[in-house]
A and B are shown apart, each in its own frame.
Chain A
Amino acid sequence: MNTDGAEGVSLSCKQAARLMSQQQDRALSDTESDELKKHLLVCLDCRNIEQQLGFLRRLANRYAASGPPH
């Protein structure tokens, strides 16, 4: 879903992606967190990204713990 023209949405996907990544490394401010939530509410593309970034973390954990299945 494109967020063009959506009211009250001020983050671009590029900015949202940055926050999605950084929330894995630091606590977001309240404003950042609110803006990100608003963006995700209206942007399917970034919801996909959010899921995939979460998967990337699971993948890295699995890679560290046992590696590929035998």
Chain B
Amino acid sequence: MGAGNKDNPLDKRRMLFAEVESHRGYMLRFATAKLRDAEQAEEVVQEALLAALDGIDSFSGQSALRTWLTSILKFKIIDFQRRVISERAHTATAPETDDSADPEWFDNLFDETGHWQQRPTAWSNPDGALEQKQFFAVFERCMDKLPPAAGRVFFKREVMGIDTDDICKEESITASNCWVMLHRARVALRECLDRNWFQGEVKS
């Protein structure tokens, strides 16, 4: 790997295949957010990856590979949902949400007067982190640690860019519930990035 000759079409294809594969984790998260089912997500991602490899020659390189793969994945998800709906009547599931008091882990971030328990410090050079592969790995690990519903809502809102109104409909939750979940997710992610990346950086 890596030693391939860029001008050799076969090597170029092989390199592109390897690059496609490197987006699998992202695609799985995307599909899981949409379908709420890890197995179904896996199935759809397989289909999308196969379709992508079949059609790799139509990838122009004009857009980022991830953007191109995501558009294929979206079609596959819609296709899959249509198939599932036609196979069995859509049964409403109880939404997995929590509109009650803040959970303990969230409350613990603040003292009894509502001030930050641990005072947030400024991050040095956050934009530099965007140029580091490892930082994205930390970000993915932090997203994985969120409660499933909060993780899904965050992914839909911030990564997929869906309006909160549409997220509410998809998740059968109220707008205020959605805002609360998003807020907790953001605060948790901020804290996780702070602990696992920026605090170490400041010291180095």
The interface of chain A, by Cβ under 8 A from chain B, is 2-4, 12-15, 17-18, 21-22, 24-26, 45-46, 48-49, 51-53, 55-70
Q: Knowing A12-B113, A64-B161, A67-B26 are in contact, say whether A26-B67 is a contact too (CB < 8 A).
A: no
Whether the pair A17, B130 counts as a contact (CB closer than 8 A) is no
Q: How far is the CB of A4 from chain B (nearest CB, A)?
A: 8
Report whether over half of chain A's contact residues are helix, strand or loop; otherwise say mixed: helix
Whether the pair A64, B164 counts as a contact (CB closer than 8 A) is no
Neighbouring B residues of A55 by C-beta, 8 Å: 123, 126
0 or 1 for each of B64-75: is its CB under 8 Å from A? (1 = yes):
111100100000
CA distance A24 to B157 in the complex (A): 10
Whether the pair B115, A2 counts as a contact (CB closer than 8 A) is yes
Whether the pair B182, A21 counts as a contact (CB closer than 8 A) is yes
Neighbouring B residues of A26 by C-beta, 8 Å: 164, 175, 179
8 A-B pairs whose Cβ atoms sit less than 8 Å apart in the complex: A12-B113, A13-B110, A26-B175, A48-B121, A66-B66, A67-B136, A69-B133, A70-B133
Chain A residue at minimal CB-CB distance from B67: A65
Q: How far is the CB of A28 from chain B (nearest CB, A)?
A: 11
Q: Any chain A CB within 8 A of the CB of B51?
A: no
Q: Knowing A66-B64, A69-B131 are in contact, say whether A18-B159 is a contact too (CB < 8 A).
A: no
CA distance A53 to B185 in the complex (A): 11
Q: Knowing A63-B159, A68-B136 are in contact, say whether A14-B114 is a contact too (CB < 8 A).
A: yes
0 or 1 for each of B127-161: is its CB under 8 Å from A? (1 = yes):
00011110111010000000000000000011111
CA distance A62 to B110 in the complex (A): 30
CA distance A15 to B180 in the complex (A): 12
Neighbouring B residues of A65 by C-beta, 8 Å: 64, 66-67
Whether the pair A13, B123 counts as a contact (CB closer than 8 A) is no
Q: Any chain A CB within 8 A of the CB of B200?
A: no
Residue in B66, B110, B120, B132 with the greatest tally of chain A CB atoms within 10 Å: B120
